């Protein structure tokens, strides 16, 4: 039996929320970590899935956050940055492939309306332009939602996963239609703030930096807090705060764990210069890549420097 992550869960059944309906890539990713006895509940959108955790209807929620082709999922970033606080406990990456689906018996019909999620449409643009240049693209909340509504809707086809075809009894008239064969989506497992997971040796820490009043060099100040301590950034994205035009915050992923000296020191430095900092979690990277460190950025160097300062302040002979 797979051990519970990040700690032994006290109940027999864990309740997961995920971006639904059934047949999404999110569900496929979630099933790689869920136990057979766990409850998996689909929600219509990212906000609803995360709110299920906030309202205690679910213990954790799995939602997409980034795609290697189309980039970030803005709704997930905004929910984590501005919504009621949640933290990330785990990330999962999943290779994604797309099929063009039609209702059974409609294999030879003309395709004039294609429904799918905007991220999926963006990853299949070349296929659509070549084969269905005049088709109307209808955006849906997820690829599986397009597949689920295909039979009763007014559109002719859906772009979704092969699993969605099986889930909803549809026929695939084209498979592997994505423009990039190596497309990967990253998902995050979010829950209410709690115990910080132990260091794994290949961790990522996520946070949101609110810089307050905009000024020249604001971003440089933020980046300097990390660079001077040898903390490498793996992701940075500016997003509007929603307060007023031109007001932004930065969502940042860095190598390392909050319990490492260099990362913790960088976060305290960041908190001093920012209006606010929201900690979004330290968790193992799905790719298991370890942080790059040098002698001067290793934990021991920070501890030695702190010990030196303490000795100086105490008037000890150095």
pLDDT band at 107 (very low <50, low <70, confident <90, very high): confident
The pLDDT of residue 45 is: 93
CATH number 3.40.190.10 is the correct assignment for the domain at 99-174: yes
Mean pLDDT of 98-104: 94
Q: How many DSSP H helices and E strands does the chain contain?
A: 10, 15
Mean pLDDT of the chain: 90
Same fold, 11-96+184-194 and 99-174: yes
Per-residue pLDDT reduced to its tens digit, 72-89: 999 999 999 998 999 999
Kindly state the DSSP code that residue 9 receives in the 8-state scheme.
Answer: -
CA distance 67 to 77: 13
The pLDDT of residue 298 is: 84
Length reported for the chain: 318
SS3 209: strand
Q: Where are the domains of the chain?
A: 11-96+184-194, 99-174, 196-304
pLDDT band at 1 (very low <50, low <70, confident <90, very high): very low
pLDDT(280) > 60: yes
Residue for token pair 């300097």: 224
Could you tell me which CATH class the domain 196-304 is placed in? Answer: alpha beta
CATH number 3.40.190.10 is the correct assignment for the domain at 11-96+184-194: yes
pLDDT band at 9 (very low <50, low <70, confident <90, very high): very low
């Amino acid at each position: 039996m797979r051990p519970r992550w990040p700690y032994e869960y006290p109940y027999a059944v864990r309740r997961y929320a995920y971006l639904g309906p059934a047949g999404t890539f999110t569900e496929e990713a979630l099933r790689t970590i869920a136990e057979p006895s766990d409850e998996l509940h689909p929600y219509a959108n990212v906000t609803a899935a995360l709110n299920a955790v906030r309202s205690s209807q679910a213990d954790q929620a799995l939602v997409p956050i980034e795609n290697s082709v189309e980039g970030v999922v803005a709704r997930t970033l905004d929910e984590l940055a501005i919504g009621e606080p949640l933290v990330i406990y785990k990330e999962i990456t999943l290779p994604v492939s797309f099929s063009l689906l039609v209702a059974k018996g409609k294999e030879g019909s003309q395709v004039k309306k294609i429904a799918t999620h905007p991220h999926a449409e963006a990853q299949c643009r070349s296929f659509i332009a070549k084969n269905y240049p005049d088709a109307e693209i209808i955006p849906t909340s997820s690829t599986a939602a397009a597949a689920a509504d295909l039979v009763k809707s007014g559109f002719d086809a859906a772009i979704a996963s092969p699993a969605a075809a099986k889930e909803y009894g549809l026929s695939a008239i084209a498979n592997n239609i994505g423009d990039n064969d190596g497309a990967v989506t990253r998902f995050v497992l979010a829950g209410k703030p709690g115990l910080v997971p132990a260091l794994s040796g290949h961790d990522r820490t996520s946070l949101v930096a609110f810089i307050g009043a905009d000024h020249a060099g604001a971003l440089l100040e933020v980046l300097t807090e990390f660079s001077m301590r040898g903390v490498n950034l793996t992701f940075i994205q500016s997003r509007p705060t929603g307060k007023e035009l031109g007001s932004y915050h930065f969502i940042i992923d860095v190598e390392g764990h909050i319990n490492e000296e260099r990362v913790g020191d960088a976060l305290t430095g960041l908190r001093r210069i920012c209006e606010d900092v929201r900690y979004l979690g330290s968790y193992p990277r799905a790719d298991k890549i370890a942080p790059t460190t040098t002698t001067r950025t290793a934990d021991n160097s920070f501890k030695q420097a702190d010990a030196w300062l303490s000795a100086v302040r105490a008037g000890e002979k150095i």
